[in-house]
């Protein structure tokens, strides 16, 4: 990695996760595999990547400022493709990979088109989709909302009477004594 790249407005405009991804992808680069660099979450988990949303956001940033470019575009694994996107670093020559349908490309240095930090920040903002405000749906629309009538004091203990007619179903199946279960009174309250 050259010092000119690290001091470029394109690199400076990146957030820390995009910079980390750039470094992690660059560490996977060997002498002849530029253009065949995968950024699949399964391959980056060992480097600490856990969130697919963060990974996608960082990839969009790197592409928006021209530090990486796609060499193979797929519809995505979530849409039924068995192949992942492949990338190249624009500051290095990439080689041809006929089996992967990747063509050889000379270094294009796309990141150099950003001469001002503001231009790079605008490109990143345009590449990021607007955040949709999400609302939680109430799955029980007909249910009434419950409001506590009185404060709950956990220091008070209350004994619930156990009905002598209630017996433990498991004990009955196993031929047990038929004594009432200690959980019998809680059956209607979400107990075991």
pLDDT score for 86: 87
- Cβ–Cβ under 8 Å, residues 34 and 95: yes
Helical ranges in 28-65 per DSSP H: 41-44, 52-64
* DSSP assignment letter at 136: -
| Token pair belonging to 6 | 């690290």
pLDDT score for 186: 57
pLDDT in tens, 151-160: 656 565 556 5
pLDDT score for 62: 93
pTM here is: 0.63
pLDDT score for 104: 83
pLDDT score for 73: 78
pLDDT score for 17: 93
Q: What span, in angstroms and rounded, lies between the C-alpha atoms of 122 and 160?
A: 65
Helix (H, G, I), strand (E, B) or coil at 18: helix
What is the chain's pLDDT, residue by residue, as a tens digit (192 residues)? 788 888 899 999 999 999 999 999 999 888 888 888 888 888 889 999 998 888 889 999 999 999 998 888 776 555 555 677 888 899 888 888 888 778 888 888 889 999 999 999 999 988 887 766 666 666 665 555 555 556 656 565 556 555 555 555 555 555 555 555 565 555 555 555
**Nearest by Cα to 105 from 30, 35, 2, 25:** 35
**Which strand (E) or helix (H) includes residue 89?**
strand 86-89
Neighbours of 168 (CB within 10 A): 17
pLDDT score for 15: 92
């Amino acid at each position: 990695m050259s010092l000119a790249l690290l001091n470029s407005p394109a690199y400076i405009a990146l957030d820390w996760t995009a910079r980390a991804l750039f470094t992690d992808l660059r560490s996977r680069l060997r002498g002849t595999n530029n253009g065949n660099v995968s950024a699949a979450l399964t391959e980056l988990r060992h480097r600490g990547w856990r969130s697919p949303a963060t990974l996608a956001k960082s990839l969009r940033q790197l592409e928006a400022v021209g530090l990486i470019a796609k060499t193979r575009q797929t519809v995505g694994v979530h849409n039924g493709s068995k192949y992942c996107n492949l990338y190249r670093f624009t500051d290095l020559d990439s080689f041809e990979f006929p089996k992967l349908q990747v063509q050889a490309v000379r270094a294009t240095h796309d990141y150099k088109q950003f001469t001002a930090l503001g231009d790079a920040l605008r490109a990143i903002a345009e590449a990021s989709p607007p955040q949709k405000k999400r609302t939680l749906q109430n799955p029980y629309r007909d249910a009434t909302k419950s409001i506590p009538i009185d404060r709950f004091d956990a220091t008070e203990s209350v004994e619930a009477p156990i009905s002598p007619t209630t017996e433990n179903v498991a004990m009955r199946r196993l031929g047990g004594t038929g004594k009432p279960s200690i959980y019998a009174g809680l059956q209607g309250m979400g107990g075991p």
